[in-house]
Amino acid sequence: MRILFHVDMNSFFASVELSFRPELKGKPVAVAGSVEDRRGIIVTSTYEARARGVKTAMPVWQAKKLCPELIILKSNFERYRTASRNMFDVLRSYTSLVEPVSIDEGYMDVTQYHGQIHPYKLAEQIQEQLIRDMSLPCSIGIAPNKFLAKMASDMKKPNGITILRKRELPEMLWPLAISEMQGIGKKTISKWEKANINTIGELATADSGMIIEKFGSSGLKLQNRAKGNDDRPVNPDSVHDFKSIGHSTTLPMDTKNEQKIDTILQQLADSVSHRLSKKEVVAYGIQMTIKYHDWKVTNKSEKLRNPSHSSNDIYQRARALFKRAWNQEPIRLLGISTYDLVDKRHAYKQLNLFSQEKDVKDLQIEQAVESLQKRFGQHALVKGANGYEARRRWIEQRSLRGTSLEKPDDK
């Protein structure tokens, strides 16, 4: 039998900040993209702040209204990446079988310790070392597979250790709401509830034929997980912290035709956006690559003020970089790559309330595009040189019809 741990750091960004400012421990603290009351967005917060209603993605002004004594700290992603690397180094000191799945969580296969030390005692040692060496708290789930270990680590926070055995599923797991199951997206919760599946137990015991009919093969996979079955190995080579995601194409013929070039840039941006979405990451940097007819290569890059995985953002930035870089010579190859990638859950955007309506609309358009591409193929909505804007107009007319885009009260 395998023994797997899921290690989940508690309020990671806030905890890292508190490790540098220990005098703030025990106080309501939040990390935000900007410390200005009107423009900042909460990235994460301590449990003391959460107890007062402070939530991720909440505007700073709203958080301060709920918790006037809230201490706001500006985010420092380089500091968090360093802490993440050090944290995973600690985990690897126990076993080489460590698989990072985000900046602040990962799986460990500690089966090698079977018969030498009780898993609970080993988890305590890991917790204690992370506190002693880095002042960082975590919760650890212990189970025979990845799914159950992940579910277990969510059961006691902060600083919890939970063992979840298969025989304990009817008492510990199955009573939980379907919305609490790993792998169930927020957008699909209502679909499960309409099928009279409101708990994880109801999913586990539902008729498999009905599950396949309504939810397809992915639904059947989730049902198997609900039953406690998951044979995925802990894979140290499945590194989440990829350097960049990009796409390039060699043109059929060298060209200086700007209309053709623009069409290719749109298609490249769509491809890169699609891959970012699949990996559930956003980019802080864009790079444009041009290879000319004589094989000379030019690269231009730019850091983004706000992280993005939006096809439109990538296209607009790449197009601007292309105009700055192109020397008017015939082009053989074009490439767009994104770098400085961060998990979507830990990204933030410094929203200006005056432009928030546009931000919301753009987000909904991108979500609608992604949904249609999943159904009909990645390039289903690309329509020639003016395809991008035509696509956005088409989506906006049909997918946003009747959608409320109200801004929050400007208080």
Check whether 410 is labelled as a binding-site residue.
no
Domain boundaries, the chain: 1-169, 174-226, 244-399
Q: What is the model's pLDDT at position 368?
A: 59
Pick the CATH number of 244-399 from 3.40.190.10, 3.40.50.720, 3.30.200.100, 3.30.1490.100: 3.30.1490.100
Confidence band for 282, pLDDT divided at 50, 70 and 90: confident
127 pLDDT above the threshold of 50: yes
Edge-first strand order for the sheet with 244-255 is: 244-255, 331-343, 281-292, 297-308
**Long-range residue pairs from 249-252, CB within 8 A, at least 24 positions apart, any chain:** 249/333, 249/334, 249/335, 250/332, 250/333, 251/331, 251/332, 251/333, 251/334
Active site includes 105? yes
Confidence band for 325, pLDDT divided at 50, 70 and 90: very high
| Domain formed by 1-169, architecture | 2-Layer Sandwich (3.30)
5 pLDDT above the threshold of 50: yes
Q: What is the model's pLDDT at position 404?
A: 32
> What average pLDDT does this structure show over 36-58?
85
Confidence band for 152, pLDDT divided at 50, 70 and 90: very high
Confidence band for 36, pLDDT divided at 50, 70 and 90: low
Q: What is the mean pLDDT of the chain?
A: 85
241 pLDDT above the threshold of 60: no
Q: What is the model's pLDDT at position 265?
A: 96
CA dihedral (336, 342, 347, 352) in degrees, to 10, reads -30
Q: What is the model's pLDDT at position 122?
A: 97
Top CATH class, 174-226: mainly alpha
252 pLDDT above the threshold of 90: no
Check whether 294 is labelled as a binding-site residue.
no
Catalytic residue, chosen from 105, 171, 357, 389, is: 105
The 10 Å CB-count burial string (b at 16+, else e) for 299-321 is ebbeebeebbbbbbbbbbbbbeb
Residue 255 CB partners (closer than 8 Å, separation 6+): 261, 330, 331
Q: What is the model's pLDDT at position 376?
A: 56
Q: Which of 149-158, 242-251, 377-386 has the lowest mean pLDDT?
A: 377-386
The strand pair at 98-102 and 105-109 is best described as antiparallel
63 pLDDT above the threshold of 90: yes
Q: Which of 9-23, 112-126, 141-155, 329-343 has the lowest mean pLDDT?
A: 329-343
DSSP structure class, residue 168: G
> What pLDDT, in 10s, does the model give residues 188-234?
899 999 999 999 999 999 999 999 999 999 999 999 999 999 999 99
251 pLDDT above the threshold of 80: yes
> What pLDDT, in 10s, does the model give residues 289-320?
999 999 899 999 998 877 888 999 999 999 99
179 pLDDT above the threshold of 70: yes
Residue 281 CB partners (closer than 8 Å, separation 6+): 242, 245, 309, 341, 342, 343, 344
Q: What is the model's pLDDT at position 360?
A: 46
Edge-first strand order for the sheet with 71-74 is: 42-45, 29-32, 71-74
